[in-house]
Amino acid sequence: MFGFDILFPSLLNGLTTGAVYALIALGLTLIYGVLHIINFAHGAALMVALYAVYLLKVNWGVDPYLALPIVVPGMFALGYVLQRAVINRASHGKDENILLVTLGLSIVLENLALIVFKSDTRTIETAYTLATVQIGPAFIAVPKLVAFAGALLCAGVLMAIVARTDLGRAIRAVAREKHGARLMGIDVDHVYAMSFGIGLACLGAAACFLLPTYYVNPQVGSGFVLVAFTIVVLGGMGSFAGALVGGLLIGVVESLGGLVLGESLGQIGIFGIFILVLLFRPQGLFGARA
Amino acid sequence: MHERLSQRSRDASGRSVALKDVATIVVFAVAVALLTAWLDSGVWLTFVMMTLYATLLAQAWNLLGGFGGQFSFGHALFFGTGAYVQAIAQMQGGFNPWLALVVAVAVAAGVGAVVGALTFRYGLKGSYFALVTLAFAEVFRILALSVGFTGGGVGLMLPLAESAGNMQFGSRKGYIALMLGLVVAALAVTAWLRRSRFGAQLQAVRDNEDAARAIGVDPWRTKLGAITLSGGFMGAAGAFYLQVFQYIDPAIAFGPQVSVEALVGAIVGGMGTLWGPLLGALVLHTLADLTRNLFGALPGINLVIYGAVLILIVMFLPRGIAGMLDRWKRS
Amino acid sequence: MSNRRTFIQQSAAAASALAFPLVGGAQPKAVKVGILHPVTGALAYSGAQCRAGALMAVEDINKSGIKALGGAKFEVVLGDAQSNPQAGAAEIEKMNEAGCAAVVGAYASSICLATTQAAAKHNLPHVVDVGVADQIVERGLKNTFRFGPGYRTCAQVAVNNLHVLNTLAGKPAKTVMIVHEESLFGTGTAGLLARELPGFGFEVKEVIKHANPTRDFNNIVLRMKAVNADIVIPANYYNEYVLLLRTMQQQQVRPKAIYSVLGGAASSYKFVKEFPEAADGIIDCNHWFNPKDKRSAALRKRTEAQDIFYSYEVFNTYTAVRLLADAVERAKSADRAAIIAALETSTFSDHFLPYGRTKFVNGQNQGAQPLMTQVVKNDIRVIVPSDYREVDPVFPLRS
């Protein structure tokens, strides 16, 4: 039905789109893995990061990739403060309350953006926005290839942080057994805030890689939230390798599913996988059995 | 073991407490009916109607989430099912809307049963369960977009034909009466859950599933019962929505708005309580309307305030409004 | 002595003002008009544009007020439909209670369905400014009046004109691919097109439906390459339109014509300014103004002075409010039933849209029509029909 010259580009498209999804999911999986919260505000945070990248480019001419060292730490700081000052304090540790707090946060962030930036959709122009690279019969946009590399890099950095640093050890301890970790002298609140901060920092990176081929408006984050959740579940909550592989896999499923079933119905592939994974392998591809 | 549980609900003090519930529900129903009869303003009648509607959403969620401890993020699944069945039964099946309502509730409850059977069989709980319900809602949304008899992306528009027999009321009061009936039914079921053996079993499963299993409760069947009830009420809310606004499309039916409204009302009001959903719905609806009316001029400000107040409510009332009232009563 | 005289003088003046309220300094009672749009949520951009158009119209009307009512001004009651039908319906109740004589709104078809119905219960006249779904004016609601065209008209005009353009160019185009968004407006429009096009000899090779939002159009563009239809017809909202066109540009997919029907960005100055290369040559069948009428250029300047783009939402809603003012003028009253009667018999022609004299049949303005525009030299020009033509069409874009 579809020749190689359609399937192959579709596959590559899926991989590159999936890489961006993976970047978004990396942060979400860390936040879930450590704090055990489903962060409803993840989409809104992505939107904030996208606006930051946009403003840097439009007001100061900073190229999105060069904005990485500004946006990533900035988002980290935002995440740390939000978790420490708002989420932690408001939720009293109860799951259902954390949910509502992140939900409230997402409403606040989205509408603050609406007030400040109005609802216009904004895009940026860069020298490489339309540049493509030919791989076989496929023309792949350069920003998407960069995003792919970026996702691999981020996943690698995160895995290194968690595996090799003291912070990483503390994170792993808290994720596994919060009370035990506290008894051992680990400042759990600080670790929580650091984790949330790193989670949002990933969104900062995602935004830098995404904006060249996408756009930003106050509602832009909501389109990515469900996909991100699916990937976190598929990959295994708390696993970076899982988020990366899961993201790429979902990207490919979305792409090929769209080809076969039509773009609209093809989205079902994503959720079908979601449900099947939850039913038959809830720990995901890389997660540890609880 | 079972006897001990049922004894608890049958001893003397239990019975007077159950009567108290019945009495308060009756008082509530009469009060709302009187208020409705007395009100004349379209704005206030709409407010009462939409608050009751939000209450039903929260009540349905509360059955499964508050009492059953299973948080659903995709309750719109049952809402949308109810709405579409209500529409399709009338428009393509020629059913009378009152009969269609029964069918809608039954089908929505059935969907609840199927989803529950599947997910609980595989032991999904906590966040996993929450996310799977979200996924199911999305799947139904996408299917509704793609299938012919749901009208696809165009949605379904109920033809205008005002009459009580057609469940299309000229005045909001008719709709309020209908919704009040549904809310009272949900209150009755909630009150029953608080005092019955089934309810006790459900709460035991919620608090500690393994311990419950150890004393002979079947968690799967208990949770299944809860999700079926929850789904049924949610389906009624969906059917109601269709009758009031006479238009449904996949985004409205299965989208996140309804799912969020259901869980927010229940949690803010106080989970696992009888009056929590009403309190939560009332407070949130008032907040939304107030902010929209006071700050409507600059788009977005009203929602920023709404979101901030939501966070503050959660910050200062961690057990919800009902929880706070409970503490006041005791202190 | 002087006190008493002053007192008598003052009382006399006051008495005469009370007796003759329209004479002297007393202000006539303002006419309240509800302006209802989704200014928050997913449709916030379009809603805000509509509101801007409405407010400029009210400004113009209030320069002299409604003469038949002694210069009574329009008093605006703003409403936010929050991008969903329930909020829209609730705002109608508020406007009803605030004593609005009429309502103009609510941009989106699904919201309009709910608001016109809610307004009908109070016999509140409701002018629909955009809302293209035909169901809005096909329910027999006496209070509903749509000034602009619905999607059936737009689809028919589009198909007829495509046939004409194609024939004039020697029939270079035979195959069509439709790309539409999945909700009410996209699905409805695509359905009509797919049904009508074969009758004119076009083969509809593929109809692709996509989500709102769609994050990536590479697959759809791949299909486009594979199908290689002569003409691509997009019917979607601004964001997706932009992504689609950019992706096509990136993948170097250039069909013989990009022929939009109610294209989200095709006749948008914002799009043309931000993506001149992608936009070049695109034809759109959409709401547009009469380019030969200077008043439109004046309104455009005013709009751009507020730092917003002059889009169809602006001039559609602007004119809808002017239509209402004309009806109030002819009704000589702010009474709802009188305004409805005045709208029913309206012959409003003092506007710069290409509709000629207004004539409502069952709430639809019979003269309403979309225009065909093309992006030429970084500007949007009317190509069809000939009475409004500014430039000759370039069709096909490439042979």
B196-253 pLDDT per residue, tens: 999 999 999 999 989 999 999 999 999 999 999 999 999 999 999 999 998 999 999 9
* C210 sits in which H/E element: strand C203-210
List, as one string, the DSSP characters of A226-249: HHHHHHHHHH-TT-HHHHHHHHHH
CB atoms within 10 A of CB C63: 8
Query: Are A103 and B310 inside 8 Å of each other by CB?
Result: yes
Question: Which residue, among C37, C40, C95, would best test binding to B if mutated, counting the most B CBs under 10 Å from its CB?
Answer: C40
Contact assessment for residue A139 and residue C252, using Cβ atoms and an 8 Å cutoff: yes
Structure-token pair, residue C109: 């078809």
**Residue C344: predicted pLDDT:** 94
CA distance B248 to chain C (A): 9
Cβ count near C306 (within 10 Å): 11
Q: State which H helix or E strand residue C109 sits in.
A: helix C109-120
Question: Among A130, A219, A255, whose Cβ lies nearest the Cβ of C42?
Answer: A219
| Residue A120 clears pLDDT 60, i.e. is over it | yes
| 8 Å CB contact of A264 and C209 | yes
Establish if B43 touches chain C: CB-CB under 8 angstroms.
Answer: yes
- What is the structure's pLDDT at C102? 96
Q: Which of residues 153-192 of C touch A (CB under 8 A)?
A: 182
ipTM: 0.87
Query: In A, what residues contact C, Cβ < 8 A?
Result: 2, 6, 9-10, 13, 17, 111, 114, 118-121, 123, 125, 129-130, 132, 139, 141, 213-215, 217-220, 223-224, 227, 255, 258-259, 262-264, 267
- Assigned token pair, B214: 């150890």
Chain A residues lying within 8 Å of B145, measured CB to CB: 264-265
Q: Is C329 exposed, middle or buried (0-12, 13-18, 19+ CB in 10 A)?
A: middle
Among B45, B154, B289, most C C-beta atoms within 10 A, so best to mutate, is B154
Nearest CA in chain B to C39: B299
The minimum CA-CA distance between C387 and chain B, rounded to whole Å, is 34
β C175-181/C231-235 pair status: parallel
A62 pLDDT higher than 70: yes
State whether residue B76 sits within 8 Å of chain A by CB: no
3-state secondary structure of B271: coil
Q: Which of C87, C93, C184 sits opposite B249 (nearest CB)?
A: C184
In this structure, the dihedral spanned by the alpha carbons of residues A101, A102, A108 and A109, taken in order and rounded to 10 degrees, is 150
Structural domains counted in chain B = 1
Decide the pairing of beta strands C371-376 and C231-235: unpaired
Per-position pLDDT tens, chain B of length 331:
444 444 444 555 556 677 888 999 999 999 999 999 999 888 899 999 999 999 999 999 999 999 999 999 999 999 999 999 999 999 999 999 999 999 999 999 999 999 999 999 888 888 889 889 999 999 999 999 888 888 888 889 888 888 888 888 888 899 999 999 999 999 999 999 988 999 999 999 999 989 999 999 999 999 999 999 999 999 999 999 999 998 999 999 999 889 999 999 999 999 999 999 999 999 999 998 888 888 766 788 888 999 999 899 888 888 889 888 888 888 7
Compare CB distances from A108 to B122, B134, B308 and report the shortest one's residue: B308
Chains within contact range of chain C (3+ C-beta pairs < 8 Å): A, B
Read off the pLDDT band of A152 (50, 70, 90): very high
Query: What sections of chain B are H helices per DSSP?
Result: 2-10, 12-38, 42-62, 76-91, 97-121, 126-146, 172-195, 197-207, 209-214, 219-245, 250-254, 256-269, 276-295, 301-316, 320-330
Cβ contacts of C250 on chain A, cutoff 8 Å: 130, 132, 139, 141
Q: What is the pLDDT of residue B15?
A: 67
Bridge partners, C384 (sequence order): C372
Question: Please, are residues A44 and A221 in contact by the beta-carbon 8 Å criterion?
Answer: yes
Query: Which pLDDT tens digit goes with each residue over A221-237?
Result: 988 988 898 899 899 88
Instruction: Spell out which residues of chain C touch residue B257, defining contact as CB-CB under 8 Å.
Output: 84
Q: Is B319 contained in some domain?
A: no
The torsion angles phi and psi of C22, rounded to 5 degrees, stand at -90, -5
Backbone phi, psi, residue C291, to 5°: -70, -15
Residue B110 lies in a domain: yes
pLDDT of residue A175: 85
SS3 B125: coil
| pLDDT at site C2 | 47
The pLDDT assigned to A1 comes to: 62
Q: How far is A136 from chain C (nearest CA, A)?
A: 14
Find out whether B310 and A103 touch, Cβ atoms under 8 Å. yes
C208 → closest Cβ in A114, A129, A262: A262
Single-letter code of the amino acid located at B160: L
Contact of B74 with B137, CB cutoff 8 Å: yes
Q: Is the sign of the CA dihedral B293, B299, B305, B311 positive or negative?
A: positive
Which residues 22-41 of chain A have a CB within 8 Å of chain B?
Answer: 32, 36, 38
- Cα A15 from Cα A138, distance rounded (Å): 13
Kindly state whether residue B158 falls inside one of the protein's structural domains: yes
* Euclidean distance between CA atoms C263 and C313, whole angstroms: 13
Average pLDDT estimate for A227-252: 91
Domain-located, residue B263: no
β-pairing, A132-135 vs A138-141, is: antiparallel
C291/C25: higher pLDDT: C291
Burial class from Cβ neighbours inside 10 Å (0-12, 13-18, 19+) for residue A14 reads buried
Say if the Cβ atoms of A141 and C250 lie within 8 Å: yes
Residues 282-321 of B with CB under 8 A from C: 289, 292-293, 296-297, 299-300, 302-303
Does C44 lie at the interface with A, CB-CB under 8 angstroms? yes
Any CB–CB contact under 8 A between B46 and chain C?
Answer: yes
Out of B42, B157, B292, name the one closest to residue C96 (CB): B42
B317's CB contacts (< 8 A; 6+ apart) are: B268, B323, B324
> Do residue A215 and residue C182 have CB atoms under 8 angstroms apart?
no
- Largest distance between two CA atoms of chain B: 62
For C109, name the nearest residue in chain B, comparing CA atoms only.
B154
Alpha helix positions (H), A165-289: 166-176, 178-183, 188-210, 222-235, 240-261, 263-280
Nearest to C330 by CA among C20, C66, C1: C66
* Cβ contact A104–B308 (<8 Å): yes
What is the interface size between A and B, counted as CB pairs within 8 Å?
126
Residue written as tokens 């005013």? C302
User: For A187, phi and psi rounded to 5 degrees?
Assistant: -80, 95
Compute the distance between CA of residue C142 and CA of residue C129 in angstroms, rounded to an integer. Answer: 16
Contacts of B209 in chain A (CB under 8 A): none
Interface membership of A138 toward B (CB under 8 Å) = no
CB B63 within 8 A of CB B189: yes
Residue-wise pLDDT tens digits, A3-43: 888 889 899 999 999 999 999 999 999 998 888 888 889 99
In-domain check, residue B174: yes
Report the residue from C97, C113, C186 with minimal CB separation from B153: C186
Nearest to C39 among B46, B252, B299 (CB): B299
pLDDT at B82: 97
Q: Chain B partners of C96 at a C-beta cutoff of 8 Å?
A: 42-43
For residue A112, the chain C residues in CB contact (below 8 A) are: none
Residues C368-384, mean pLDDT to the nearest whole number: 93
From residue A62, how far is each of A57, A66, A124, B72, C105 by CA, in Å? 5, 6, 11, 43, 41
Higher pLDDT, B185 or C24: B185
Distances from the Cα of C362 to the Cα of C140, C145, C188, C337, C355, angstroms? 7, 8, 21, 16, 17
Q: Identity (one letter) of the amino acid at A236? A: G
C41 vs C344, which has greater pLDDT?
A: C344
Residues of B in contact with A101 (CB under 8 A): 311, 314-315
Contacts 24+ apart (CB under 8 A), C379-387: C379/C272, C380/C267, C380/C269, C380/C272, C381/C291, C382/C288, C382/C291, C383/C283, C384/C161, C384/C164, C384/C165, C385/C161, C387/C354
Phi, psi (rounded to 5 degrees) for C384: -140, 145
Residues in chain A: 290
Range of the domain at B121: 2-256
Residue B305 forms part of a structural domain: no
Give dist(CA B94, CA B81) in Å, integer: 18
pLDDT digits 0-9 by tens, C268-311: 899 999 889 889 999 999 999 999 999 999 999 999 999 999 99
Closest among C47, B38, C246 to A213, alpha carbons compared: C246
For chain A, what are the domain ranges? 4-121+132-280
Asked if C93's CB is within 8 angstroms of B46's CB, the reply is yes
The pLDDT value recorded for residue C20 is 44
Residue A43: list chain B partners with CB under 8 A. Answer: none
What's the pLDDT at C237?
Answer: 86
Contact B170 C121 (CB under 8 A): yes
Exposure string over C66-80, b if 16+ CB within 10 A, otherwise e: beebeebbbbbbbbb
CB contact under 8 A, C182 and B153: yes
Contacts for B120-123: CB closer than 8 Å, 24+ residues apart? B120/B219, B120/B220, B120/B223, B120/B224, B120/B227, B121/B220, B122/A278, B122/A279, B122/A280, B122/A282, B123/A282
DSSP state of A84: I
Rounded mean pLDDT, C381-392: 91
Q: List, in sequence order, every residue forming a beta bridge with C176; answer none if it has no partner.
A: C204, C231
CATH 1.10.3470 correct for A4-121+132-280: yes
Residues of B in contact with C48 (CB under 8 A): 299
Q: Poorest-confidence range of A187-201, C18-32, C138-152, C161-175?
A: C18-32
Residue ranges of alpha helices (H) inside C257-363 are 269-274, 276-279, 294-305, 312-331, 336-344
pLDDT band of residue C167 (cuts 50, 70, 90) is very high
Query: If pLDDT is split at 50, 70 and 90, which confidence band does A269 have?
Result: confident
C45 close to A (CB below 8 A)? yes
Average pLDDT estimate for C88-117: 93
Calculate how close chain A gets to B307, using CA atoms only, in Å.
4
Alpha helices in A83-187 (DSSP H): 88-91, 95-117, 142-164, 166-176, 178-183
Reduced to 3 states (helix: H, G, I; strand: E, B; else coil), residue C24 is coil
- CA distances for A4 relative to A134, B309, C219, angstroms: 15, 55, 14
Chains that touch B (3 or more CB pairs under 8 A): A, C
Do A40 and B259 touch, CB atoms closer than 8 A?
A: no
Report CA-CA distances (Å) from C49 to A203, A237, C258, C306.
31, 43, 26, 11
Distance from CA of B141 to the nearest CA of C (A): 11
Chain B residues within an 8 Å CB radius of C90: 46, 50, 289
* 8 Å CB contact between B63 and B190: yes
Domains and CATH numbers, chain C: 31-148+292-365 (3.40.50.2300), 152-286+371-388 (3.40.50.2300)
Under 8 Å between Cβ of C179 and C247: no
With beta carbons under 8 A apart, name residues in chain A contacting C245: none
* Average pLDDT of chain C, as a whole number: 89
State the helix-helix crossing angle for B42-62 and B219-245, rounded to 10 degrees: 160
